């Protein structure tokens, strides 16, 4: 595990959060990405990425490049997020979110989350994947 996790002074996983709260925390932070510091919103998303997700997308500087790249850039500084219903089992959840950017264009993403893993993050809902529809 890289020593850039978790990103300090930002929300971190907690077993009290529901899947919808985890997605909402990330989207709220991404809507104001550079508040309270540069790429803080992306940092919140990184903090809520599952260990397997971070292994594939980290370290943080690489994660920032991915999120600001063409596929995920509409998430950064979006002006509106329209959540769909949560589809949840005991250990997995999925939620579709349609985001509207400053330019009025929309993009729909599917967040896939889980809460079963070894170690201290067991029981915390974390993002395994975010797919552009």
Q: Where are the alpha helices (DSSP H) in the chain?
A: 19-31, 40-47, 51-57, 60-67
Q: Provide the 8-state DSSP code for 65.
A: H
The span from the CA of 109 to the CA of 121, in Å, is 24
Question: What is the percent of the chain with per-residue pLDDT over 70, rounded to a whole number?
Answer: 98
Residue 17: what pLDDT?
98
> What's the pLDDT band for 4 if we cut at 50, 70, 90?
confident
Domains and CATH numbers, the chain: 19-132 (3.10.450.50)
| CA distances from residue 105 to 70, 78, 80, 108 in whole angstroms, order as listed | 13, 10, 11, 10
Are the C-beta atoms of 45 and 54 separated by less than 8 Å?
Answer: no
Q: Provide the 8-state DSSP code for 70.
A: T
The span from the CA of 44 to the CA of 29, in Å, is 7
pLDDT one-digit tens code per residue, 39-82: 999 999 999 999 999 999 999 999 999 999 999 999 999 999 99
């Amino acid at each position: 595990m890289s020593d850039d996790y978790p990103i300090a002074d930002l929300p971190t996983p907690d077993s009290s959060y529901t899947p919808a709260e985890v997605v909402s925390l990330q989207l709220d932070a991404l809507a104001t990405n550079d508040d309270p510091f540069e790429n803080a919103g992306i940092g919140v998303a990184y903090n809520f990425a599952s260990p397997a997700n971070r292994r594939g997308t980290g370290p943080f500087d690489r994660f920032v490049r991915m999120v600001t790249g063409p596929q995920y850039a509409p998430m950064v500084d979006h002006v509106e997020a329209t959540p769909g219903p949560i589809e949840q089992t005991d250990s997995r959840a999925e939620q579709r979110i349609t985001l509207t950017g400053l330019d009025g264009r929309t993009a729909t993403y599917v967040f896939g989350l889980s809460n079963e893993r070894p170690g201290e993050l067991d029981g915390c809902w974390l993002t395994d994947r975010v797919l552009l529809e």
